[in-house]
Structure 1
Amino acid sequence: MARRLGILIFGATGYTGKVVVEKILTLSNKVENLSWGVAGRNENKLKELLAEVSKKTGQSLKDVEVVVANVGDEVSLKNMTKKCKVLINCVGPYRHWGEQTVKACIETGTHHVDVSGEPEYMERMQLLYHKAAEEKGVYVISACGFDSLPAEIGCLHFMQQFDGDVNSVETFLQMKNKKQKGPAINYATWECMVHGLANAKDLRPIRKQLFPERLPPMTPKLKPRGSVFNNPVGKGWCMPFLGSDQSVMRRSQYFFHDKKGQRPVQVQCYFSVTALSTVITFIIVGAMFNLLTKYKWGQKLLLKHPKIFSFGFVGSSDEGPDEESRKRTEFNMTFIGDGWSEKRTAGQQHTSLPDTKVVTKISGVDPAYGVAAIGALLCANTILSEADKMPSRGGVYPPGAAFFDTSLMAQLEANGVKFEVVEKRKVSNNKL
């Protein structure tokens, strides 16, 4: 049997795939003997991509393996996945195209990493394929891009600040780019958002099967703050974050409770903006988006005219944010929460209010694509190098559950993601 590549990037000619190809050059300079290749449905476009990246970086890519595969062709998918140890899947929307690739990976003994932010797809894959992946010794890990790796690994960092139990954490995401010109996200991301919200109703029956036993009620209970409220960590306003962070983080907490006997951490996620006009814009776009995704004709309108319905925030089907604008985009995510300095055994409730408050933060640049690309690559490389530190011997997991015992956090920090403790202090402790 031919030697397998370490990492194969599927969907390499897409917007995100191209960034992953560029970032793997940086990673391969740090990781000794990392072999990799590119895959997609058009051989000529793949070769053109490699020539373009080679010209841009000055590195020769003539020996990079090119693999042709199509999500509509099961045989080609299996032939592709046989060629690598870990596949990074950049072909979305994953609701439509993800399952075929996951299935091929499991059948050929190949680990699978993707950058999905689609809860219905991720939870359905866990429901349908966790046992098969575990038996085959294959890891299938989604949400390894900006949705929702920073939230997951940031939460692990937050949890590390407690010697005892964590009660709750709230996340506050802020993005900054004062010179934003043109679209901020590409069309494929918008397409995933449209299909994700349109099919949100499918989540309930999946979750009932995936988590037949609900997590125990926690005291004190963390309640949602509301639709719009003053930013508790800076200037401006906050609103609920409608991305996949909360659903992914809760899956990890379910794992920690079920498999490790830990008290599950309550989670709420928000994003913050400084200008009231931005709040108004989000409300208008959100209301319109929510209404139109309920109808087939509305979904077609959103997909046909992304610039109009996103107020220019999204590019057309062949357009994405330019590289300079991406480099100017900064993000920070603040974690605020509380817990106890004393640890209780599994199932034993605390009799007093939390006695410790902690505030942590993670930050970086080019979150939606740069962080997403390097995150997916580091997740893939961690599977290659530290599978012995991951749960069981395979299975379908969210990143927090998969990588909690690995060096992934340190790797992210070494690649431009900053982790810091803003505040840690004792608070008055009264009986419940």
Structure 2
Amino acid sequence: MASGGPGTRERRYELVVFGASGFTGQFVVEEVARVATGGELHSGLRWAVAGRRREKLQAVLERAAERLGKPALGSEVGVLLCDVGDAASLAAMAKQTRLVLNCVGPYRFFGEPVVQACVENGANCIDISGEPQFLESMYLKYNKAAAEKGVYIIGSCGFDTIPADMGVLFTRDKLKGTLTAVESFLTVKSGPEGSCVHDGTWKSAVYGLADQDNLRKLRKQIGYAPVPVVGAKLKARGFVFYNQEFKQYSVRFLGSDASVVKRSQRYLHTELKEIPVQYGAYMNIGGLGSVIKLMFAGLLFLLLVKFSFTRKLLTKYPEFFSAGHFTKKGPTQKQMDGTSFTMTFFGEGYSEGQDPQHGKPNVKICTEVKGPEPGYVATPIAMVQAAVCLLEEAAALPKQGGVYSPGAAFSKTNLIDRLNKQGVEFSVISKPEV
């Protein structure tokens, strides 16, 4: 089925960036403008920006044009006035486009009205949420309706979680044999200016951790089919451990990577009969001093998120409670320029001809995804390339619409090749050893 529901090819725009004047939205606008003028698409891209205030949207377009060294973008880019609290304005936006790139978070508070408007009005929707509860509640509420409308709702298409989700698929495809388990280790390097994150991500973490019990209830309600364990069972590591491979300490990664990868693997197993891959996500943090700081900060954070009064303090003073790692202003350009990430995947499995149901794994592989600053450089690249895939590769998407994770939606597309060309690079570090 062609993406975007019946009749969407005749719509005024192919793509609308909603929340274009927000902190992340402005970088997404810049990336869309770069792609729209860079000849990557078969035809010129008809697109628009959407948000609450016209002057702010115009300013974002002017900034993008200036940073790209282009003449003003205003004349060829539509400007739509739209508010997440105004259902009629969301419906009007969705009716005009094939695809909405939703940059308005935290998604647990502001995401559902956009999904609802898109499903009801036959528009596809991509977001960059790293919030499992939002992603999975959208699946529960809208998967059936989206399938009936033939539209694709694809969550977590930023740094959360395209490098992890597509990285597992890349590792699987590069192993000659059957991949049964993967562990990933994220390393973020910053320059002399250090790095920081905009407080929108902080808010998502505060409310997400406070609501863990409801996430468990939600999963029970969905009634997920269990994902079978194929091959040797992957053992979960402790929360903090010394990592011999990297000669530093690692911690369990608390982002949405593990839950999104599991959803993708469940879909690929149940719908496409592919062998599911077990997955563990970790992050490298450095020496013992970093561990002590993290443990102290983590315990304080877990204590404070439990009570509504202290949650308000956490969200009001992110810079104080995160020791400057999260700020209301977000990172400077120098901080972004000096920051990069590497995600290393260690996979194990069974060589061709070996039965993964019997015996120990006998092949290993190491792959890597490298990229620029995760939050505001890699995320817009990932989101926009996912959008390009959805618009240009309809035949490679799942046969029917629905609410999907990136790995489920894009496993048969050229998304990895597209990302490689844009500086989010997937590579094999060591070939399988028997």
TM-score of Structure 1 vs Structure 2, range by shorter chain: over 0.9
Q: Which one of the candidate residues 25, 31, 50 is aligned to 2:33?
A: 25
Query: AA paired with 1:392?
Result: K
Q: What is the deviation of 1:68?
A: 0.7
Is 2:259 the partner of 1:259?
no
Deviations along 1:10-57, whole A, 9 cap, x unmatched? 001111000011111221113231111100111221112222333333
Distance 2:397 2:301 in 1: 39
Q: Match of 2:341?
A: 331
Q: Deviation string for 1:331-368 (max 9, x for gaps)?
A: 10000020112368xxx862111111011111011111
Further displaced range: 193-202 or 398-407: 193-202
Residue aligning to 1:11: 19
Secondary structure at the counterpart of residue 427 of structure 2: strand
For residues 210-238 of structure 1, what are the alpha-carbon distances to aligned partners after superposition, in whole Å with 9 as ceiling and x for unaligned? Answer: 24431224441111111221224323110
TM superposition shift of 1:102:
0.2
Counterpart AA for 2:124: H
CA contact (8 A) 2:229 2:278 kept: no
Secondary structure at the residue paired with 1:62?
coil
Equivalent of 1:169 in 170, 178, 182: 182
Distance 1:121 1:47, change over 3 A: same
Q: Is the 8 A contact 1:233 1:334 kept in 2?
A: no
Q: Return the offset for 1:191.
A: 1.0
Give the match for residue 420 of structure 2. 413
Which residue of structure 2 aligns with residue 135 of structure 1? 148
Letter in 1 for 2:433: K
Could you tell me how far apart the structure 2 residues matched to 1:299 and 1:343 are?
54
How many Å separate the matches in 1 of 2:360 and 2:263?
A: 25
Hey, what's the Cα distance between the residues in 1 that align with 2:432 and 2:166?
Answer: 22
Partner of 2:240: 228
Q: TM-score if structure 1 supplies the norm length? A: 0.94
Match of 1:373 in 2: 380
Which of 336, 359, 363 is the aligned partner of 2:370?
Answer: 363
Q: 2:54 aligns with which of 43, 61, 77?
A: 43
Structure 2 CA distance for partners of 1:3 and 1:397, relative to 1, 3 Å? closer
2:315 aligned to which of 303, 308, 315: 303
Instruction: Report if the CA contact (8 A) 1:390-1:403 is conserved.
Output: yes
Structure 1 letter corresponding to 2:417 = A
Query: 1:426 pairs with 398, 408, 433, which one?
Result: 433
Equivalent pairs: percent with the same residue?
Answer: 40
**Could you tell me which amino acid in structure 1 is paired with residue 160 of structure 2?**
D
Does residue 58 (structure 1) correspond to residue 32 (structure 2)? The answer is no
Q: Is the 8 A contact 1:194 1:302 kept in 2?
A: yes
Go from structure 1 to structure 2 and tell me whether the alpha carbon gap of 1:232 and 1:254 turns closer, same or farther (over 3 Å shift). farther
Q: Quick one: which amino acid aligns to residue 182 of structure 2?
A: V
Name the amino acid aligned to 2:280.
Q
> Counterpart of 2:111 in 1: which secondary structure?
helix
State the shift of 1:205 in Å. Answer: 1.9
Going from structure 1 to structure 2, the CA distance change for 1:241 and 1:91 (only over 3 Å counts) comes to same
Please report the RMSD computed on the Cα atoms of aligned residues, expressed in angstroms.
1.6
Rounded Cα–Cα distance in structure 2 between residues aligned with 1:217 and 1:187: 38
CA distance in 1, matches of 2:264, 2:380: 22
The one of 387, 396, 401 equivalent to 2:403 is 396
Q: Shift in Å at residue 263 of structure 1?
A: 2.1
Poorly superposed stretches of 4+, deviation over 6 Å: none
Question: SS at 1:33's partner residue?
Answer: coil
| 1:184 maps to which of 167, 188, 196 | 196
> Contact between 1:163 and 1:343, CA under 8 Å: does it hold in 2?
no
* Unpaired runs of at least 5, structure 2: 1-6
Deviation by residue 1:132-184 (Cα, 9 ceiling, x = unmatched) = 10110100001100111110111111011223321110000000013134x61
Asked whether the 8 Å contact 1:148–1:244 carries over to 2, the reply is yes
What is the identity, as a one-letter code, of the residue corresponding to 2:190? N
Structure 1: runs of 5 or more not aligned:
428-432
Distance (whole Å) between structure 2 residues aligned to residue 145 and residue 257 of structure 1: 24
In 2, the alpha carbon distance for the partners of 1:411 and 1:11 equals: 25
AA in 1 matched with 2:373:
D
Match of 2:108 in 1: 95
Mapped to 2, the partners of 1:4 and 1:200 lie a distance apart of 41
Counterpart code for 1:414? K
Q: Which residue of 2 aligns with 1:70?
A: 83
User: Partners in 2 of 1:425 and 1:148 — Cα distance?
Assistant: 25
Cα deviation, residue 283, structure 1: 1.4
Instruction: Tell me the TM-score normalized by structure 2.
Output: 0.94
Which residue of structure 2 aligns with residue 430 of structure 1? Answer: none
Helix, strand or coil for the counterpart of 2:351?
coil
Q: Which amino acid in 1 is paired with 2:423?
A: G
Letter in 1 for 2:66: K
Structure-to-structure mapping, 1:73-84, within 5 angstroms: 73-84=86-97
Q: 1:200 to 1:343 in 2, by over 3 A?
A: farther
Secondary structure of the 1:130 match is: helix
| 1:118 and 2:125 correspond | no
Residue type of the partner of 1:21?
A: V
- Paired position in structure 1 for 2:293: 281
Question: After the TM superposition, which of the residue ranges 204-213 and 132-141 deviates more from structure 2?
Answer: 204-213
Return the offset for 1:105. 0.2
Q: List per-residue Cα deviations over 1:386-415 (Å, max 9, x = no partner).
A: 111111221110000100000000000000
